Amino acid sequence: MRNESKLSFSHGIVWEPGPEYTERAHLTQFMREHAIPDFDDLMARSTQDVGWFTEALLKYLDIRFAKPYSQVVDLSEGIAWPHWCVGGRMNIVHNCLDKYVDTQTALRPALIWEGEGGQVRTFTYEELRIQVNLAAGGLRSLGLGLGDAIGLYMPMVPEIVVALLAIAKIGGVILPLFSGFGVGAVASRLVDGEARALITADGYPRRGSTIEMMVVADQAARACPTLEHVVVYSHAGLPIEGFDGRALSWDSLLSGQPTEAETEDTLAEAPLMVIHTSGTTGKPKGAVHTHCGFPVKAAQDMAFGMDVHPGDRIYWMTDMGWMMGPWLVFGALLLGGTFVLYDGAPDFPGPDRVWDLVERHKITSLGLSPTLVRALIPYGEEPFRAHDLSSLRLFGSTGEPWNPDPWMWLFQNVGGGNLPIINYSGGTEISGGILMGNPILPLKPTAFSGPCPGIAADVFDEQGNSVTNQVGELVIKSPWIGMTRGFWKDPERYLETYWSRWPDVWVHGDFAAVDADGSWYILGRSDDTIKIAGKRLGPAEVESVLVAHPAVVEAAAIGIPHEIKGSELIAFCVLSPGIEPSNELAVELREKAAEELGKPLAPSQVRFVSDLPRTRNAKVMRRMMRAAYLGLDYGDTSALLNPEALDEFASARGGS
């Protein structure tokens, strides 16, 4: 029998920070400024005195206010509804761009962009500021301004950054939309946000072909009664068509506008952005973020976790429709760093494209997903060894729990055992991370060094007791400045989603654990939890065993109803290139899992599929697999990059 008092996935320390990391670290500097002796003391003080930490953070990040706040946080309406920077006035664009005028930062690169075809464009801070001013003038000429919601449905081109910042500059509300969304997903979010305008593109290149966006944008625009204006950026060279004659080209929007534009004087708590996230059922949830919320948390995590300084270059594989897109922009600009955008497939024209980007743009911080690493492993070491990766200081990772073997492949093979992997997990409603590694604490494979400073994280059992060395619910017990200000026009759903299980406790919906050494682990969504004969099992435990087999690239485990055990475990495996499915291999994998986990917790079946359904930010959607396998309603599938993958799961139950 598996001993549940010990964590089978906990490993020993493989990386210790040397002085080249600790002396340079933002965390070290912050703690010295406040006479804090170590990270444990920082965590205690930052979570027990939220007001002190938030004020110290705002000063450390040099967040400047047009009018000072009278109180950093007001909790008079309860922990779920804090008011931050009370009475303060601040537009985040002033802190991202305006405050750098006539400084050395103005001449540094803010943004480096590369297209799939190899084109490169670079914008200094001053050049980006001027472009944002031109776009802000153009938006104002359309009658858009304070409080107006504007959709962003574009590929990862420099203009999407300009548009994002221009909307914020005029005091508008950004509605970021995933560039791969279909009509229904775009339309529902525009309607929910009551968008007055949409900024889109004609299309974008992908793997040598052109993906058109205008047809989707046109149909979605027609479904939104509040939409008055559409701006189209010509990226793929297609003629601008549709939109009932309402479309204006991006060049026309900017033409004739002055290079200087006033930054709207906004309340620090004015809405900045509504990012929609998909739920298990029902319409997507619109997480509301403010000028002094999301960007501040993004910069905190990028500083304390990824340790980005002026002159550093950070690239994170993402889309602006996901949290990590705006996170990348706001975080890097507030820190005076350089962010890299790549508009293309990460393995096109070959599996070395990511490493090529690192070499040519001298990237220092590389954010990727476990999914991508697992996909690159079958190509061997030649793709990364062909490139000079000496600029890299660390890796970042988010989107999906790690398995030990791919983590060690990235750490030992690509990083040479010298570069830390900064694991990062939180969500859109968090504005970043609950848990995150950092460059001053040791690392174990797949683990997090601890919670982010200021996040009072804990792991609860089913009775609401704090537990160690045991899997439970990831919770937060104090407010933090990046927390969503509720769901757009739906406060009750916000309270039901996060605050309804235990009084004054945020239940995030992740399955987590803390080992005896204080290392943290995320084991998947808690609604993916599998309970077999009263024993709870995280999918990642099973999946790690399966992907350790050389024949398996990826795996996903789900629980389905069982009359006696409550649930039985079904595992789905994606095989390595050249490996054919067989009953013999399925038996071998089941036996391997039984040996590692114990027979009661081994999968009753192992099935083979060509792909796993996943979102653009690499989260594998196990609940949708389960629904497809059981013939249930999938819920909202608009966030899926490859919804067709569900077809195999829908037809799998009758197979062998």
pTM: 0.86
Contact call for residues 446 and 294 (beta carbons, < 8 A): no
101 Cβ neighbours under 8 A, 6+ residues apart? 126, 129
What does the alpha-carbon distance between residue 110 and residue 97 come to, in Å, rounded to a whole number? 9
**What value does the mean pLDDT take over residues 573-599?**
90
Instruction: Give me the phi and psi of 117, to 5 degrees please.
Output: -80, 0
Sign of CA dihedral 124, 326, 342, 372: positive
**651 Cβ neighbours under 8 A, 6+ residues apart:** none
* pLDDT score of 401: 79
Residue 2: its pLDDT value, please? 30
pLDDT reading at 282 higher than 60: no
Contact (CB, 8 A) for 341 and 158: yes
Contact 158, 166 (CB under 8 A): no
Report the pLDDT value the prediction gives residue 529, as an integer from 0 to 100: 60
Cα 100 from chain centroid (whole Å): 27
Per the listing, tokens 């706040």 go with 69
Q: Domains in the chain and their CATH numbers? A: 19-90+270-524 (3.40.50.12780), 99-254 (3.40.50.980), 529-652 (3.30.300.30)
What local confidence, expressed as pLDDT, does residue 231 receive? 98
Lowest mean pLDDT among 133-147, 332-346, 602-616: 602-616
Point out the least confidently predicted range of 246-255, 450-459, 628-637.
Answer: 628-637
CA pair distance 380, 261, nearest whole angstrom: 51
Could you tell me the strand order of the sheet in which 271-277 lies? 247-249, 229-233, 197-201, 149-153, 173-176, 271-277, 285-290
Q: Round to whole Å and give the CA distance between 26 and 76.
A: 33
Specify whether the CB–CB gap between 147 and 271 falls below 8 A.
yes
User: Mean pLDDT throughout 143-169?
Assistant: 98
Supply the pLDDT for residue 471: 86
Q: What are phi and psi of 228, to 5 degrees?
A: -110, -30
Q: 377: which residues sit within 8 A by CB, 6+ positions away?
A: 406, 409, 553
Strands 247-249 and 365-368: unpaired
**Mean pLDDT to the nearest integer, 620-649:** 86
Across the range 506-519, mean pLDDT stands at: 92
Residues 6+ apart with CB under 8 A from 2: 8, 535, 597, 598, 600, 601
pLDDT at 351 over 50: yes
Tokens of 148: 């107006």
- Residue 530: helix, strand or coil by DSSP? strand
Specify the pairing of strand 109-115 against strand 338-343: parallel
What's residue 655's pLDDT? 45
Indicate the pLDDT class of residue 573, thresholds 50, 70 and 90: very high
What is the average pLDDT across 333-360? Answer: 96
SS3 per-residue string spanning 482-493: CCCCCECCCHHH
E strands present in 130-250: 149-153, 173-176, 197-201, 203-206, 209-212, 229-233, 247-249
Question: Is the model's pLDDT at 436 over the cut of 90?
Answer: yes
- Read off the pLDDT of each residue in 153-180 and give the average, rounded to a whole number: 96
Look at residues 266, 251, 222, 229 and name the one whose alpha carbon lies nearest to residue 144: 229
Residue 578 has pLDDT above 80, yes or no: yes
Per the structure block, which two tokens stand in for 234?
């010509």
Structure tokens belonging to residue 313:
């270059």
What local confidence, expressed as pLDDT, does residue 281 receive? Answer: 43
Residue 47 confidence (pLDDT): 98
Across 58-72, 381-395, 430-444, 460-474, least confident range:
460-474
Phi, psi of 537 (to 5 degrees): -135, 130
Question: What is the pLDDT confidence band of residue 559, given thresholds at 50, 70 and 90?
Answer: confident
Going from the C-alpha of 453 to that of each of 43, 304, 386, 434, 642, the distances in angstroms are 5, 8, 38, 9, 36
Mean pLDDT lowest for which of 33-37, 129-133, 471-475?
471-475
CA neighbor of 624 nearest in space, from 602, 648, 656: 648
Q: Residue 604 CA to chain centroid, in angstroms?
A: 33
- The rounded mean pLDDT for the chain is 92
Strand order through the sheet with 566-575: 552-562, 566-575, 605-608
Per-residue confidence (pLDDT) for residue 5, from 0 to 100:
36
What is the share, in percent, of the chain residues with pLDDT greater than 90? 75
**Sign of the torsion angle spanned by Cα atoms 93, 95, 99, 103:** negative
277, pLDDT greater than 90: no
Mean pLDDT of 331-348: 96
**Mind giving me the DSSP string for 328-383?**
HHHHHHHHT-EEEEEES-TTSSSTTHHHHHHHHHT-SEEEE-HHHHHHHGGG-SHH
Lookup result for tokens 């301004």: 145
Give, for 271, the enclosing helix (H) or strand (E). Answer: strand 271-277
Is the Cα torsion angle 129, 135, 138, 142 positive or negative in sign?
negative
pLDDT of residue 121: 98
